[in-house]
Structure formats: C-alpha cells, structure tokens
Structure 1
Amino acid sequence: MPIKKQELIKLDRMDRSILEHLQQDGSLSNQELAEKVGLSPSPCLRRVRALEEAGIILKRATILDHKKLGLALTAIILIGMDRHTPERFSAFEEQIAEYPEVQECYLITGQDADYMLKVVVPDMDHYHHFLLNRITRIQGVSGVHSSFVLRRVIDSTALPLGYLA
C-alpha cells in the first residue's frame, strides 16, 4: 500500500511565534502566551487549538533532569536484525515500546544497523541487565553495538521553525 505524501500546513508569523514560545515553555497559560505574542487571549486560544487540531502540536510534556533522579547513564544502541521483513520489524517495535528505559527508537539507514535506540538507566549494572534480559531476547535481534554518552553537548526538543518563513 503506497504511503500518501502529507500536505504541508502553511504557518504565518503569528503561528510560528506561538510555537516558538510553547517550545520554550509548554506550561505557559493562554493569557501569558497571548501577552508574549501580542494577541488577545481569545484569538490566541483559537490559534493554539487550530495548531493542535492540525496535528502540529502533538502534546505538551515536562522534561525532567535524569541525573537528579538517579538515571546517570545514557546509552545509544545500534541494533541489527536478522531479517528485513515487515513482520520482524513490527514485532521488534511492539516489544521495544514496552520498555520505559527506551526514550527514542529510530528505524535507520546508512549504518550496519537497522535501529538506533536512546536508553536511560541508573548505571552500568542496570544497563547490563537491560541488554542481556531484554534487548538480546527480542526475536530477530542479531547484533548490538552500544555507545555511552559522556556529556550532553546539545539537548533540545525545539524544532527549527526559521525554515518555515
């Protein structure tokens, strides 16, 4: 079944301003947001709701400091699969979605791997357990390569909206 190309949604300067402010602080009240972008509250709320209904704003989240919560080890894991079939990939993705340690999972190209995961755990002992008792037990996993984050240089969830002008 062919995938349909999504139609891009045109955003004006005000929509981009709203999105930039919400990316910086998703907890802004409508009143605060309206003041920051120079609108009255009612039109501001209408625009935010329209951005939500269009699927541009997917959700609002609270970002936690993982180290202060004792989650000091971040691993990037490249995973190779034994067969490249939709069923094998689907089964892997369903299984990996059940693991709260996995913050991000990407199906990738250009590497000797099929998936790239970002995993956060307390320490190396927990990582070792996660790797041996979860990842390597998923049917179809044929190779695992782990790298560990020494320092976060850039850690942003904000999208670069300047390209939309």
Structure 2
Amino acid sequence: MSTAQPDLDRFDHAILRILSSEGRISAVELARRIGLSKSPTQARMKRLEELGVITGYRAGLDPIKMGQAHVAFVEVKLSDTREAALQAFNKAVLTVPEVEQCHMIASRFDYLLKVRTADIQAYRRVLAERISALPHVTSTSTYVAMESVKESPI
C-alpha cells in the first residue's frame, strides 16, 4: 500500500462522510444520496478500501452503557527517548486495553494517553499497575474528563 495521499473527488468525500457515520447504509441508498448509480458507487468503495482510505467497518459502541464512563487523559514522560526506548514503550502500551488512544507528543512530556475505565478506583489501579509499569515511564500527570462534548471516529 502506498503512503502517498490518493486523489479523492467530491463523490469519494461524500462516500467517506456518509460511511463514517452510517457504516451499515446500503449501497443503493448510498448511491442515491451521492447522486451516482449503485455500480459506480460500489466501485468507488472498493477502490477506497484498496487504497487503505477505508480501513474497515465497525460497530459504534456506547462506552457509558458498557460500564466505561470514566475518561482520563494522561501525560507520560519517559526517562529515555532514544528510538529503542520509544519502540519498547509503543509495543507495551498496545497491551493495555484501557488505553483507548496513545499519541507521541512534541511537548514537555512524551505521550498523551486517553484511558477509559469504569470509575476513578479502576483508573487508579490501571495507572499504578499498568501505565506506571510501562517501559521507561518516569512520571505521569492525569486530567479527568468531566464531560465529552464531541467525540468523532473520523
């Protein structure tokens, strides 16, 4: 798969916008809404999948109804930021299921994690037993989300 950005026209963007919020829409309805017939719409979807623009189709889940209402953002500072240390951290953080997102940051800290748990007690355990034990972690700072104003899957 190429890393070059593919050329996307207005129909491609319309397909992506609709599918990102309505992944179970039928090809016929999608075609109607973007103003093409079914066959070209399906061909475009297949092309977008082959290009890696569409990476899959997933069910949107409500974390609150699943008992995962607590969200914390965690700044993580590492003791070593050489490539081997970064790779060790990256590999290990993938094994922590409560970490919903992990981003390397150009700042006074090295990583920003989005962590989702049932409550503050569960978060405290995850922080102490899993996040703080990740390779090269020297310090963390936690920010608890009080309300989610916008969360989009892109």
Which category of TM-score, normalised to the shorter sequence, fits these structures? over 0.9
Q: Tell whether 2:48 aligns with 1:51.
A: yes
Question: 1:133 deviation in Å?
Answer: 0.7
- SS of the residue 1:105 aligns to: strand
* Partners of 2:60 and 2:21 in 1: CA distance: 11
Deviations 1:49-71 (A, max 9, x none): 10111111112222211111111
- Does the 8 Å contact 2:103/2:111 carry over to 1? yes
User: Which residue number in structure 1 is paired with residue 70 of structure 2?
Assistant: 73
Which of 90, 93, 103 in structure 2 is aligned with 1:93?
90
Aligned-residue Cα RMSD (Å) equals: 1.4
The ranges of structure 1 where at least 4 consecutive aligned residues each deviate by more than 6 angstroms after the TM superposition are none
* Partners of 2:94 and 2:135 in 1: CA distance: 14
Deviations 1:75-119 (A, max 9, x none): 100100001111111111111101111111000112x21000001
* Partners of 1:50 and 1:56 in 2: CA distance: 9
Q: Tell whether 2:150 aligns with 1:154.
A: yes
* Partners of 1:62 and 1:68 in 2: CA distance: 14
Structure 1, unmatched stretches of 5+, are: 159-165
- Does the 8 Å contact 2:69/2:116 carry over to 1? yes
TM-score by length of 1: 0.88
User: Which residue number in structure 2 is paired with residue 117 of structure 1?
Assistant: 113
User: Which residue number in structure 2 is paired with residue 162 of structure 1?
Assistant: none
Question: 1:7 deviation in Å?
Answer: 2.4
* Partners of 1:45 and 1:30 in 2: CA distance: 7
Which of 23, 27, 32 in structure 1 is aligned with 2:24?
27
* Partners of 1:72 and 1:157 in 2: CA distance: 17
Q: Tell whether 2:131 aligns with 1:135.
A: yes
Amino acid at match of 2:152: S
* Partners of 1:20 and 1:72 in 2: CA distance: 27
Amino acid at match of 1:114: D
Amino acid at match of 2:61: L
Query: What number of residue pairs does the alignment pair up?
Result: 153
Question: 1:156 deviation in Å?
Answer: 1.4
